[in-house]
Chains A and B, each alone.
Chain A
Amino acid sequence: MTPLLEVEGLRTVFRTSAGEVPAVDGVSLSVERGKTLGIVGESGCGKSVLSLSIMRLVAHPGRIAAGSVRLEGKDLTTLSPAAMRDLRGRDIAMIFQEPMTSLNPVHTVGFQVTEGVRAHEPGLSAAELRARGIEALRRVRIPSPERRFDEYPHQLSGGMRQRVMIAMALAGRPKLLIADEPTTALDVTVQAQILDLLRELQAETGMAVILITHDLGVVAEMADDVAVMYAGKVVEQTDARRLFDDPQHPYTLGLLGSIPRLDEEREDLLAIRGAVPPPFALPPGCRFAPRCPFAIAACNEAQPPLLPVAEGHGAACIRAPIEKALAA
């Protein structure tokens, strides 16, 4: 069976005074039906531009320069704007990090939750719309949905707002939900509520999820497969279990070493030196080489391709596995 979503060689560039710079540079990945793909990386790695590219929401001066995005075999990069608009919300939906800025402050929760229904099914009566909206709020476990329907976003807590966003996204029963840092702005107890909710809804509806996050704890909790991104490229890709059991790329190692853990005592955290290079000043070879303690001269010469290190496990590093490289 073909995967639900297949991204191949996707390249999204932005025109700047310094010429065209790539924010996403040759990314290939796939999402199976009903599964969760975690995309991990820090600011500037291209994970948000990747999700906007899948939705074809990249605004000028950005554009998709190469590659394909196939949903059930259909290439979204060549669809007409009208066909694409029809598909958004119905086949793919998206939720964002900041539920306050993503909701319109001058409309009621009910008006916003029913917006998709109004667009796709004109002619519903006000009472029917209200019933549908309340049902949508109930599905995301919002208490007293009848009352919340008439309230405004500022009257809701952050967690409730993210539930409203999820209700809006799920209204069209999408096959794929893209969640871009959905819990980053939330407190940890609220984050746990939202992750629980996402998991339940996924089990109910069978939708696939692309979960974009910088938090390895959230990835470990939610993802079936994981792609680690750095400076516009996927540097490591495998299933979640293997990523944590057998991390290969030095950047993945650096991320794992940077996070303080509750289940470990360590004197100093392992910091990655330096910072992510800006997309207009990318190093010529491996983009992580300037920060990598294992880098050798060859790393600066050519960009390493994502090569299999094991069945179902790819890493873009010519030194992987590192213990072998160091022993040689």
Chain B
Amino acid sequence: MTALLEAEGIAKHYPVRQGLIRAKTVGTVRAVDGVSFSVRKGETLALVGESGCGKSTTARLVLRLIEPSAGHVRFDGVDITTLDRAALRAFRRRAQIVFQDPYASLNPRFTVAETLREPLEVHGIGDGRSRKARVEELLSLVGLAPYHAARYGHEFSGGQRQRIGIARALAAGPDLVVCDEPVSALDVSIQAQVVNLLRDLQRRLGLAYLFIAHDLAVVKHVADRVAVMYLGRIVEVAEKNELFRNPRHPYTRALLAAIPHPDPARRGRIVPLGGDLPSPLNPPSGCRFRTRCPFAQEICAKEDPALEDGVACHFRDELPPAGLDFSGGLAPNAARRLALFAEAGRRQGTP
């Protein structure tokens, strides 16, 4: 299958200046530093990492919302890093974004109808009547009612606002939607609604997602493949099930080992990762994870490991098994009652 989106060695460097009048560049923050990946039609690639790893910057780079310092992004075979304004606009019709904060990402002066109509107008899609029909169609697609069209963003809860944000991203009929932490700001019960909606839309519309997240449990639920980022680099990329069954990079393992399970029987098994994230202004030499890595050797300080066979680690084939246990799951009583809950909900037509 061919790739819909291909990033090749993309980087974003921010100069750090000091001084007011004759500002001098005193350093470079390497927010994203040589990242390559691809997203196929209809699949979800999750980009996972902790704050400061460069995942949101990467999301903006692939849509060219910010200009890359290096590298290429190809969409359907066309290099979008060199497109002119008109061509870029045509590209954006096919590649859209859903932002993290549904409170900040809706224009407070727009009604929902205006919010959803704007992309149609920008791209010159349809006329007045067909746009009105499209707005209604979009609302029903994301589980909102036609009467919501006349309301303003502040009249909605966080979950509903995120539905509006998703409808806006879908308005022009994209093939790719970049979801930048779309459920992180939502309460858990609302998170589940939005996650289910995104999966449902993907099935119905054949969308591809680049899904940016820090929560590996959410990622396990939505992704086909997962790329793990650390300090501006991808350290591991794998099929989802493979990644959770056999995490290979020490950082991936550390991330997974730090997650507390909703199961008191397994209390006390979380393993904290020592130390702090180094500054991207002055990343460690060689492998960037070596300052916190329990397996680090001399070579790790000298040579930067390449991403080969899905892992960027000098000892990719020599590490002991990860020894992580993801068995368990819901207790029998809980599982039985949850099934009743789901069954009763279905009978009443829960969305």
Give me the interface of A with B, judged by CB distance under 8 Å: 42-43, 157-160, 187-193, 195-196, 214-223, 240-241, 244-248, 250, 253-264, 266, 268-273, 275-276, 293-294, 322-323, 326
Sort chain B's interface into a size bin.
35 or more
6 cross-chain pairs, A with B, having the tightest CB-CB distances, nearest first: A293-B344, A192-B272, A217-B260, A187-B50, A221-B260, A258-B192
In the complex the two chains form, what is the Cα distance from A269 to B244 in whole Å? 19
B contact residues around A214 at 8 Å (CB): 187-188
A contact residues around B271 at 8 Å (CB): 192
Known: A263-B329, A269-B192, A275-B159. A254 touches B341 (CB 8 A): yes
Known: A157-B277, A188-B259, A246-B333. A269 touches B272 (CB 8 A): no
The residue of chain B having its C-beta at the shortest distance from the C-beta of A293 within the complex is B344
The residue of chain B having its C-beta at the shortest distance from the C-beta of A240 within the complex is B264
Contact between B264 and A189 (Cβ–Cβ < 8 Å)? Answer: no
Known: A217-B261, A259-B188. A246 touches B217 (CB 8 A): no
Contact between A262 and B331 (Cβ–Cβ < 8 Å)? Answer: no
Give me the interface of B with A, judged by CB distance under 8 Å: 50-51, 157, 159-160, 187-193, 195-196, 199, 214-218, 220-221, 244, 254-268, 270-274, 276-277, 326-331, 333-334, 336-338, 340-342, 344-345, 347-348, 350-351
Give the tally of cross-chain contacts (CB within 8 A).
191
The residue of chain A having its C-beta at the shortest distance from the C-beta of B254 within the complex is A189
Contact between A220 and B262 (Cβ–Cβ < 8 Å)? Answer: yes
In the complex the two chains form, what is the Cα distance from A219 to B190 in whole Å? 19
In the complex the two chains form, what is the Cα distance from A219 to B263 in whole Å? 9
In the complex the two chains form, what is the Cα distance from A246 to B337 in whole Å? 9
Q: How far is the CB of B159 from chain A (nearest CB, A)?
A: 6
In the complex the two chains form, what is the Cα distance from A324 to B254 in whole Å? 44
Contact between A294 and B341 (Cβ–Cβ < 8 Å)? Answer: yes
- A254-B341, A264-B330 known; 14 other A-B pairs, CB under 8 Å? A160-B276, A189-B273, A219-B262, A220-B263, A220-B267, A221-B270, A244-B264, A245-B331, A255-B188, A261-B262, A261-B330, A262-B216, A269-B195, A271-B196
A contact residues around B273 at 8 Å (CB): 189, 192-193
Known: A218-B260, A263-B263, A293-B345. A246 touches B334 (CB 8 A): yes
The residue of chain B having its C-beta at the shortest distance from the C-beta of A269 within the complex is B192
Contact between B276 and A157 (Cβ–Cβ < 8 Å)? Answer: yes
Contact between B327 and A220 (Cβ–Cβ < 8 Å)? Answer: no
Contact between A268 and B188 (Cβ–Cβ < 8 Å)? Answer: no
Known: A256-B334, A275-B157. A294 touches B329 (CB 8 A): no
In the complex the two chains form, what is the Cα distance from A294 to B342 in whole Å? 10
B contact residues around A187 at 8 Å (CB): 50-51, 214
Q: 30 A–B contact pairs at CB < 8 A?
A: A187-B214, A189-B255, A191-B258, A193-B272, A216-B262, A220-B264, A220-B267, A221-B260, A221-B268, A222-B267, A240-B264, A245-B334, A246-B333, A247-B337, A253-B337, A253-B338, A256-B334, A256-B338, A257-B338, A257-B341, A261-B262, A263-B327, A264-B329, A268-B196, A270-B338, A271-B189, A272-B189, A275-B157, A276-B187, A322-B341
In the complex the two chains form, what is the Cα distance from A225 to B62 in whole Å? 47
Known: A160-B276, A220-B267, A271-B193. A260 touches B217 (CB 8 A): yes
A contact residues around B187 at 8 Å (CB): 42-43, 214, 276
Contact between A260 and B195 (Cβ–Cβ < 8 Å)? Answer: yes
In the complex the two chains form, what is the Cα distance from A22 to B239 in whole Å? 49
Contact between B326 and A262 (Cβ–Cβ < 8 Å)? Answer: yes
In the complex the two chains form, what is the Cα distance from A311 to B274 in whole Å? 42
Known: A253-B337, A259-B188. A192 touches B262 (CB 8 A): no
Which of B157, B191, B265, B333 sits near A247, CB closer than 8 Å?
B333
